Structure 1
């Protein structure tokens, strides 16, 4: 019996390449151009794997500089990131102490030798930095540096930054092998940087998609609350008002009117909650607070006074904003429903890493026998942020609610 002919082999799609695969491929193309002993080749391979093991750009840049220092035994190293306008957007150093960095003040902007490599993106190896025509000397407090090796870093086909190394240990000079070694590292670094940038873009895109899903859910919940819950409550309130004149017993009529007031209060609370659901997280915080105060204005019968001090819009993270808005909404609702106040003042202050919120009204205060569930809820929310909540009476009448929330420990 004759076996049927085997179908011709058709190669399938190539397996997707991992970031490490890309780095090693780039490294292999460079290693062919240089002659390295086994020890230095292993060190280069370890360096490439090290910089490819992270997807956070700042960490990758630091790993690149650290690997370059080790590969050529240099005392100082830096990575300069180009700003696209002939200068440096970022400058990350290693080898300098914290005191030396602070003494130098502002980081370099791309003058002198650094500017020369920016203008001429090709390797530069010097015996003495100060002897080069582009040298402008060192600022006061800068440690002495003599030998120099600079190599451009490209991402794709675009110049992205430069890797700088100075002072080879032992007073030796940087060699041609050192230059080729750092060029190979820079080539792999370009791939790692490109991967990190792509990862950042994908993460941002995913975060935006999740944000849109949240907003769609908020919008749906808000519509349901308005179209179903509020409308039913409003209809129930109207029905109660229409029958109160039919009730002869004064106590029963008073209870019906009280129930109508509670329904009105619940409608005001729901409207404030709907406002919070529709609040864009990109909106500045002070504007959101003013908007919430505007929503409860109709229930209060007047507009609360609102004031801000310090970097309220800049320093309050989203998690704190969400909780503070919920607590402010409850405080204003309580003032409208129970305090019979004629004025309410709201102030938010950010100072020395602490958010302080104060809500004061001139109402009748909190009766000793009043339920404390709402106040307990405010205290619990504040405690979840590591803060403190207090309440005091105001003379001659009124209530003062105070919050103090540390901002440093909060995570968005």
Structure 2
């Protein structure tokens, strides 16, 4: 292995270890893998708890080309093989491998394949996929060894990110306990004292019927408020792991704002962190990323607004921009994937556009 490639690998590993947000770090992994192996296309796919391909980030392909591809990668063919057999895989001619299923309509033809799994200890996180060496030859054993090292660096970066989130969860739990204690010791006790005072006044026989009725109404409201606060205290003291979805969304928006060149606004409606479970949380971020990325790429917008809403019945994501408007009939692979995600959870996906007010998208699923 020549010194130049070893130096490039060292730089790539240091690049991943810079401590940036996870999305940026993983994107650097793919870029560096493409650079070190001197290939044309690269991608990184993560998997869900049930072992299917979930998120998919790529380099080397233009946005316009990606939009023309009929279906989003679903973990079939060689990608599916790597999920089932998570070991490094080198293939000279993709179509000749037993697991090959061909390319979807609109997908550029590719020759040569190198896939390397990303592990976090004993857990399979996903894989790095590389295709088409620029010199027209097959990927080498040396290429494989270099990418294996990069995949290990990616695993460390992901593990470190999760550790940071876990530390935040501990801090949030401590803060929740303090708030619960203050609610009990200060708020509820004062409400009880107010109730006792009103009950003493209520016993005055000189009170008119009207005043007595008003006092009774206030007492009923106080009792209802106390019950609501007690429910809140129990929820705050629930020590189940926290899926800090708000923080993840804000981090994603910050990254996308850098890409857009302006600050994307966002707002939350409802108990986002308490009613959206981990399984749905893993879908919310890719959905937000796809909707906002589409607005950045195609809308020529000056403003983009994100709203994430959750209640006891459903979760809804809205993205509104002031761009040139969506053209009906243009259902690219990314949009079709969003629609499939929504339908799979008993939900819906809607996109409306006008040259006057821009584009409005709505993705809603049942909880």
TM-score by length of 2: 0.57
Query: Which residue is equivalent to 1:81?
Result: 46
Distance across 1 between alignment mates of 2:137 and 2:84? 28
Shift of residue 40, structure 1, vs aligned partner: 3.0
Deviations 1:178-200 (A, max 9, x none): 22211111122222222222322
Which runs of structure 1 show a deviation greater than 6 angstroms over 4 or more consecutive aligned residues?
none
Structure 1 residue matching 2:171: 3-state secondary structure: helix
Task: Specify the alignment match of 1:214 in structure 2.
Answer: 179
Query: Following superposition of structure 1 onto structure 2, how do residues 391-406 of structure 1 map, counting pairs within 5 Å?
Result: none
**Unpaired stretches in structure 1, ≥5 consecutive residues:** 1-34, 245-253, 284-314, 322-349, 355-407
Q: Aligned partners of 1:141, 1:282: CA distance in 2, in Å?
A: 53
Q: Once the 2 structures are TM-superposed, how far is the Cα of residue 58 of structure 1 from its aligned partner?
A: 3.7
Label 1:46 to 1:260 Cα distance change in 2 as closer, same or farther (>3 A): farther
Highest CA radius of gyration, 1 or 2?
Answer: 1
Matched residue of 1:278: which SS?
helix
Cα shift at 1:351: 9.6
Asked if structure 1 preserves the Cα contact closer than 8 Å seen for 2:70 and 2:105, the reply is no
Contact between 1:148 and 1:164, CA under 8 Å: does it hold in 2? yes
Where 1:171 maps in the other structure, the secondary structure is coil
Q: Which residue of 2 aligns with 1:66?
A: 31
In structure 2, relative to structure 1, the CA distance for the partners of 1:140 and 1:352 (3 Å cut) is closer
Match of 1:278 in 2: 230
Deviations 1:96-126 (A, max 9, x none): 3334334335432322112222333332223
Q: Extract unaligned runs of 5+ from structure 2.
A: 236-267, 275-314, 320-361, 363-367
Structure 1 match to 2:57: 92
C-alpha deviation, 1:69, in angstroms: 2.0
Change in CA separation of 1:121 and 1:258 when aligned onto 2, cut-off 3 Å: closer
Q: Provide Cα deviations, 1:356-384, integer angstroms capped at 9, x if missing partner.
A: xxxxxxxxxxxxxxxxxxxxxxxxxxxxx
> Pick from 148, 152, 166: which aligns with 1:187?
152
| Aligned length in residues | 248
CA RMSD after TM alignment: 3.6
Contact 1:55 / 1:195 at 8 angstroms: preserved in 2?
no
2:160 partner SS: helix
Q: Aligned in 2, Cα 1:275/1:158: closer, same or farther, shift over 3 Å?
A: closer
Aligned to 2:105: 140
TM-score normalised by length of structure 1? 0.51
